[in-house]
Amino acid sequence: MKSFETDVNILILDSCASGAFMRVKGGQQVALFLLDEPSRIRGDVYLSSSTEEEASHESDEIGASFFTYSLVSLLRGAADFSQDGQVTIHEAYQYARTETLSRTESTLAGPQRPSWHIELTGTGDLVLTDLMELEAGIVFTEELEGQMFIKRGQHNIVAEINKAKGTSITIVLPVDSYTITIRNDDGTLEASITLDESSITTLTIGDFLRTKNIVTRTRGDEEMNDEELKDKIDKPVSSYDVSFIHFGFSFVPGLGVPFPNQPYYVGLDFNLVLGINYGIRGAQSGTGINIVQDTVYGAQFAVIGNIVEGGLKWFQWAGVFNIFSGSVRGLQSAGVFNIVSEDISWLQASGVFIIASGSVKGAQGAGVFNITSGTLTGVQGAGVFNITSDTFTGVQAAGVFNSAINVTGIQAGTLNIADKIEGSQIGIINIADSISGLQIGLLNIGERIDGIPIGLINISRNGLMTLSFEGDFNGFFYLSFQSGKTLYTLLSAGTQFFTVQTDPVLSTIAGLGLHFDLGPFFIEGDAAAKKLQSAGKNEKNFHSLK
């Protein structure tokens, strides 16, 4: 291995007594592994499936060796213990050893202990998988727990994860259709999804349906009676134990079906005054207020408002307001306001204002203002103002002002404010720290401009901004101001001091010019319009090039 001209070599062996080959040289060059660039790591890593005195086990059930099976899962993201979106070599070894040992410690052949040897110099860590560069993936939220099986189709298991409650986990997968099965003390859950290119699907408890357990007994055990079988199948009610009913109706909480404390998903539900349901899978309509404790999958309508503690997937309308503790994936509309605590995907519209604490992918439209605490990708439009506290990608338009941290796209409003612009700012006043693109307005202010400012006054630290005094052969003396960069604005005003005319003449000039730096020298050329006006109200207009 040391003969390869590479910074880092990684040798992975899955064979019996593979620990004895820790220092074997050789191998085949493959695609470059991801490195943490600032770390400058150099050296070799040897990872074996067992020690030099142990056998490496295979399983007919999973159709692979235990070590390779865990290795595939960890590279897909199961070993991201630090939740930083990367799987490092240390996390990979920790996961592979724990999973392989736990699966083999009770086998007839004895336990199998993966081992490793590292010969690395430098600082930092070696990154094997960057989950941020995923083709597609699944995010399992914090409330999910148990042994998870991800299958392509119905039988081909592509990853298996033992997930603890309280932490989320991201698994990278190719574009395809998958069935996810979760087994824990409360039973078996199942969900089916299809991943599109560059898509991330977040799964919550509400995305899973409970399936019946297959009751078995080991050889030699006594047969179970009917009561024991019933206990095996009918688990106590828990956060996972959610059933489904087709219809629901209530006048007020407690007078209707289902009762508020029963964890049912309802297919079609109607509430007269106030309705409280665990979840909706279909449609819900109410003349007053609808309250849902989990997620709405489908459509929800209310004359006054909707309050959902989980998320929305499809469509929601309310005459006054919508309030969400979870995320929205679909269309949300309200006569007065929408408030969402997590992410929004698709379209959100309100007559007065919208407040989103998470990120937005899609469009936001409000009669008065939009406030988004996370990133926004898409379109944000408001009658008065838009505020995005993080990165904005797309079009941000408002009648008065727009504010964002980093903008990739267009800001259009009377006043536009951003830290960094890659695109265009269009308004009366544009303010940004760094601009790559266009600023179009009466007043453009930028700390650093790598683009073209077009305005009456352009102010920047690295741009062109000069104040000069000059005269011509006609006896006019001018005070001139140039501002911009390669393209600049020229504004001049002057008068004739030495003339036989009794009435003073005022000359004003406005134009555009080009400026090119040539080392210590520069070349300039401009086109301008001149206006002469005397105290006797006589006016003359001229056009000039210089």
Q: Which sign, positive or negative, has the C-alpha torsion 186, 192, 197, 199?
A: negative
The CATH class of the 134-211 domain is mainly beta
- Average pLDDT over every residue of 421-428: 94
Question: Domain ranges in the chain?
Answer: 8-132, 134-211, 377-460, 464-545
Provide the mean pLDDT of the chain: 79
Q: Which sign, positive or negative, has the C-alpha torsion 34, 36, 38, 39?
A: negative
- pLDDT beyond 90 at 295: no
Q: How confident is the model at residue 129 (pLDDT cuts 50, 70, 90)?
A: confident
- Model pLDDT for residues 235-292, shown as the tens digit of each residue: 433 444 566 788 888 877 667 666 656 677 888 999 888 888 888 888 999 888 989 8
Under a CB-based contact definition with an 8 Å cutoff, are residues 386 and 369 in contact?
Answer: yes
User: Could you give the C-alpha distances from 221 to 215, 218, 228, 229, 242, in angstroms and in order?
Assistant: 13, 6, 13, 14, 31
Region class of 22: left (phi > 0), else alpha (psi between -120 and 50), else beta: alpha
Q: Is 252 helix (H, G, I), strand (E, B) or coil?
A: coil
pLDDT of residue 498: 62
Q: In Å, how far from its chain's centre is CA 455? A: 35
- Burial class (CB within 10 angstroms; exposed 0-12, middle 13-18, buried 19+) of 20: middle
The pTM of this model reads 0.56
The CATH class of the 8-132 domain is alpha beta
- pLDDT beyond 90 at 441: yes
